[in-house]
Amino acid sequence: MVAAASSRVLAFALALCLPGTSFAREESFDAAEVLGAPPAASVELVQTRITAYDQTGYGYQSQAGPKAGPGSETLHVLQAQGEFVIQQGEDLTHRVWVPVDLVTSASADASDRYYAQPDVVSRASAQNVAAEVDYQLGVRAGPETTWTAVAGMHYEENFLSWLYSLEYQRSLADDNATFSLSAQQALDWFDAFRLGGSRAGRTSRSTSSFNVGLSQLLSPSTLVALAYGFTLQRGELSNTWNSVPTVTGERMSEVLPRLRDRHAASVSLLQWLPWQAALELRYRFYRDDWEVTAHSFEARLRQRLFGRLVLGAGYRHHTQTGVFCFTTRTLLVSSYRTADSDLGPLDADSLGGSAEVSLPTRRHGTLFLTFGYDTYFRTDELRVSVATWASGLRF
């Protein structure tokens, strides 16, 4: 996706914070000449992460409130993750990522509030367990070429999703530039619900993404990255339980077009600072055929202290127009309609910080402990707080 180039920028930022890092190409001995042939397989990373997500606010798509809205958008998520990276020889890298979500959602649980008894839709809409497993294989096809393939599956009550992607990456200009090209395909298969909460069979959506990225080292301390992505979505693009208040005081089901073209472009600048810090600045432009135009500005700073402590801080501002069919009081004859607060016009800001401590061990690589906290708030009064704790070993 468009974020692929940004992820490489962030990896570069982390490298900038490591003492003694040099980005000029230098002559060096081959590792095999010094250490001997590499083992058949070695563990590079073992990590666990716990994330708590807390959302409050109100939206007109929710029926957890007055019939005319807005209703509660309260949502609580506790996510546990496990990640493993294994290096096989010099050319193969395996990554396995397994997140498990425990969800409590007042908004979804109240989807049938006015037209049937509570929880007709699903007991699990009040408390739901979602799990996913992703497998990534990186293949070094040559000194300058890498292929990365990903296959993943997501499961929760009433919802299944499959994801596949393939990325080609090539180093250029004596390793001072990187070009990437990727494609991603996701298929979602889930239950559809009528307004009263009864099931209306199964439905599906397809999401196809194509992305291109280019990063260029401008100097030993400056990197710039450009990226563009196109996404085509087809099928049922609503979650099927959202509703829209009408001008008569009733509610109707949300109806969205079954096709959506999305475009996004971004530019990132990452600068090494001489006091063991790295600064990243990023701008992203978004436009789709539902008449949404969005601009996002982001700044992140990482500072190394005492050799083993890295502090991070970040700020992001996002502004967008609403989709053409957004309304909080729909006409009964409307072909398309939504009251989803995520699809309306809004401005949003997020602030966050993190701290990571690295502790070398004699036998088990480097132990790292990370804590992060982010707060997100926007003009429609939605508020989100995210706290995360990670620990693991790098070998």
Residue 36 lies in a domain: no
Q: Please tell me what DSSP assigns to residue 337.
A: B
Report if residue 29 sits inside a domain: no
Q: Identify the residue with better confidence: 230 or 31.
A: 230
Evaluate whether residue 267 is within a structural domain: yes
The residue among 16 and 318 whose pLDDT is bigger is 318
Mean pLDDT value across residues 220-234 = 97
**What are the pLDDT digits (tens) for 336-372?**
999 999 999 999 999 999 999 999 998 889 999 999 9
Range of the domain at 191: 3-22+42-394
The count of domains in the chain is: 1
Asked if 167 and 148 count as a contact pair (C-beta separation under 8 A), the reply is yes
d(CA 185, CA 367): 36
| DSSP symbols for 135-188 | EEEEEEEETTEEEEEEEEEEEETTEEEEEEEEEEEEEETTTTEEEEEEEEEEEE
Q: How far apart are CA 312 and CA 104, in angstroms?
A: 30
For the residues 371-378, what does the mean pLDDT come to? 97
Q: Could you tell me the sign of the dihedral formed by the alpha carbons of 121, 123, 126, 130, in that order?
A: negative
Percent of the chain with pLDDT over 70: 84
In a domain, 259, yes or no: yes
Mean pLDDT value of segment 306-334? 94
Q: Has residue 35 been placed in a domain?
A: no
Contacts of 322 (CB under 8 A, 6+ apart): 291, 292, 343, 344, 345, 346
Whole-number Å distance between alpha carbons of 273 and 17: 9
Strand partners, 70: none
Task: Compare 196 and 131 and report the one with higher pLDDT.
Answer: 131
Residue 34 lies in a domain: no
Query: Could you identify the residue written with the tokens 């061990």?
Result: 361
Do residues 43 and 305 lie in contact, with contact meaning Cβ atoms separated by under 8 Å? no
Q: Are 32 and 38 in contact (CB under 8 A)?
A: yes
Question: Which pLDDT value is given to residue 66?
Answer: 86
| CA 197/CA 360 separation, integer angstroms | 55
Give the per-residue pLDDT at 2.
40
Best CA proximity match to 379, nearest among 354, 339, 346, 337: 346
- Alpha carbons 39 and 32: distance in angstroms, whole number: 11
Residue 321: both structure tokens together: 């127009």
* pLDDT value of residue 117: 43
- Angle, vertex CA 109, rays to CA 105 and CA 347, nearest 5: 50
The count of other CB atoms within 10 Å of the CB of residue 110 is: 22
Question: Residue 198 — pLDDT band, cuts 50, 70, 90?
Answer: confident
pLDDT score of 115 more than 70: no
Going by pLDDT thresholds of 50, 70 and 90, the confidence category of residue 3 is very low
Is 75 within the bounds of a domain? yes
- Average pLDDT of the residues of the chain: 86
- The type of residue at 103 is V
- What CATH number is associated with residue 126? 2.40.160.40
pLDDT for res 38: 54
| Bigger pLDDT: 252 vs 19 | 252
Q: What is residue 112's predicted lDDT score, i.e. its pLDDT? A: 44
Residue that wins the pLDDT comparison between 194 and 80? 80
Instruction: Determine how β-strand 199-219 pairs with β-strand 366-378.
Output: unpaired
Which of 23-27, 264-268, 306-310 has the lowest average pLDDT? 23-27
pLDDT score of 26: 39
Q: Helix and strand tally (H, E) in the chain?
A: 3, 20
For the segment 171-192, the average pLDDT, to the nearest whole number, is 95
Residue 47 confidence (pLDDT) above 50:
yes
Cα separations in angstroms, 325 against 71, 319, 386: 19, 18, 31
pLDDT for position 334: 82
Domain-located, residue 249: yes
Lowest mean pLDDT among 70-79, 125-134, 241-250, 312-321: 125-134
pLDDT single digits (tens) 262-272: 999 999 999 99
> What tokens were used for 61?
């798509």
- The pair of structure tokens assigned to 53 is 């997500």
